[in-house]
Chain A
Amino acid sequence: MDEEEASLKITASKQVPVTGEAGKTGTWRTFRPVINLDACTVVKKQDLVCNLCWLYCPEGVVTRAIPPEIDLDYCKGDGICATECPANAIEMVREKEDEGYGNAPENMEELT
């Protein structure tokens, strides 16, 4: 681009929301959320009556749907959904290295 044109066009540095800006952040995960559909209020009522997992997820990877689904490509495994779930329907399960995501050390349970 011509310098004069560029100097007029360049103002503030901005970003637009895109999926995967920082790569597949699911690889950061140590614990994977697993939803017990038998216990999930939304599934039991067949209505969007709870969905706190969707509301609280800071990554926006939980769908507001029946049943709620979690995009494991980008779920970082922070466990907030499991903490917030009033039905205790979400369990955080330690990732296994051979399942493609996560790299929890063997003694993770001891650390936590």
Chain B
Amino acid sequence: MPEQMIISGNHAAAYACKAARVGVVAAYPITPQSPVVEKIAYFVEHGDIPDTQFIRVESEQSAIGAIIAASATGSRTFTASSANGLAFMNEQLAWAAGNRLPIVMCIATRALAAPWNVQTDHQDSMSVRDTGWLQLYCEDNQEIYDTVLQAYRIAENPSVFLPTFVCYDGYILSHTVMPVQVEDQDVVDEFMPPFNNHMHLADTSTPIGMSPVTTPNPILRPEATAPGYFEFRWAMQKAHERVLQTIQEVHAAFAEKFGRSYGNGIYKTYRAEDAGVLLLAMGSVACEARIAVDQLRAEGINAGVVSLKVFRPFPGEILREVVKDAKTIAVFDRGVAYGYEGVLSCELKAALYGAQTHPYIKGFIVGIGGRDIYPEHFIQGVKQAIAACDAGEPVTSGRTEWIGLHVDQLTNWEGRWNHGPND
């Protein structure tokens, strides 16, 4: 029988790893990610997962390095990190994607230093946007468990072979306990086909080297003409272009097997069918937006939420279809493409450029560095967006509006210090 547990988001991810029969786990502790690998270490220590090897490492860069090597031997692998730990992995993230290794990694999203801050926003995951990894976002702990299971099946599909991030908001999900249904091992086994990688470095009968210097042009050899770097990178992009189909298929198979679904696996909606104004957000921001929508509806504003689950690849053509009948869309970003604007809002604008019909777009920055987001913030943004649309204001580009800013509260502060000796 499936078991109902009251667990944190981090532990939900750990139980999913256990169910996925992960072969190798390596991670370095960083708040708020640490409990996910602590729990896996507990499983290993107590003999719950005898086939899982836990490698202790001295840094995040070593963690991802160990995982890349393990994945290249054909083992199912897992790691997790947050913020500056993730940033420290950055160079290796590109190796994982470029070698098409279907690693699954959780990001308990957290603000990037400086200044130092351990609370949530999406700046860390947004900053690794272009490494070639898939990015999936979650709104609650059950969704974390379910998404990690789906992530393996998506990443390991031979038409995909891409590493995958499962992102969930630090503390808000990583440390908040909620009911999570943990499924029976034999049912999960039925859902998860065995992993068959495209490379098996430990097979010494056919020794291979991974990622030699690969020239710009195809490499001519007597026996064959091998792809150049250009072709490898093209193939990685092609895999991203194909994967939206795979994600929907895996999501449908999951829904059939376990009876839980998350929209179509790409995005989720809430009261969006007849909505004249849409709120677009990801993760816990979208979760909170649902509450705001109920309040807006009570005021007579026909609002709805589009909660984006898949951020990479960016499902631009699908979103065109979803938002085409709305008059206005307010985008709430928990990460900034510094020097431009909110990441989601600039992605959406790019996606809708050239669409037959599209709503008026206005972007807002909320909840940076763990600042609480309240329904009033969404309501304020939605009303601002509607007013700007009705007034015929041009859509802005490269400018941001921050909701929940408190410079008005600064008193007797001369800009010289933040924490004095008497604090």
Contact = CB atoms under 8 A, between A and B. Distances in A.
B133 to A, nearest CB: 15
B235 A6 contact: yes
Contacts of A16: 206-209
Contact of A11 (B199, B208, B209, B229): B199
A73 B72 CA distance: 33
Contacts, number: 55
B212 A15 contact: yes
| Count class of interface residues, chain B | 20 to 34
Tell me what chain B mostly uses at the interface: helix, strand, loop, or mixed: loop
Contacts of B232: 10, 12-13
Nearest to A3: B238
A7 B235 contact: yes
A10 B210 contact: no
B208 A7 contact: no
Nearest to B226: A13
A50 to B, nearest CB: 26
Given A12-B98, A12-B198, A7 B238 contact: yes
B174 interface: no
A13 B98 CA distance: 8
Nearest to B211: A13
B210 A12 contact: yes
A45 interface: no
Given A12-B98, A12-B100, A6 B211 contact: no
B188 to A, nearest CB: 27
A15 B227 contact: no
Interface in A1-38: 6-8, 10-17
Contacts of A11: 99-100, 161, 198-199, 235
* Residue from the set B206, B229, B235 with the largest chain A CB neighbour count within 10 Å: B235
Interface of A: 6-8, 10-17
Given A7-B234, A13-B214, 7 more contacts: A6-B235, A7-B235, A10-B235, A12-B210, A14-B212, A15-B212, A16-B208
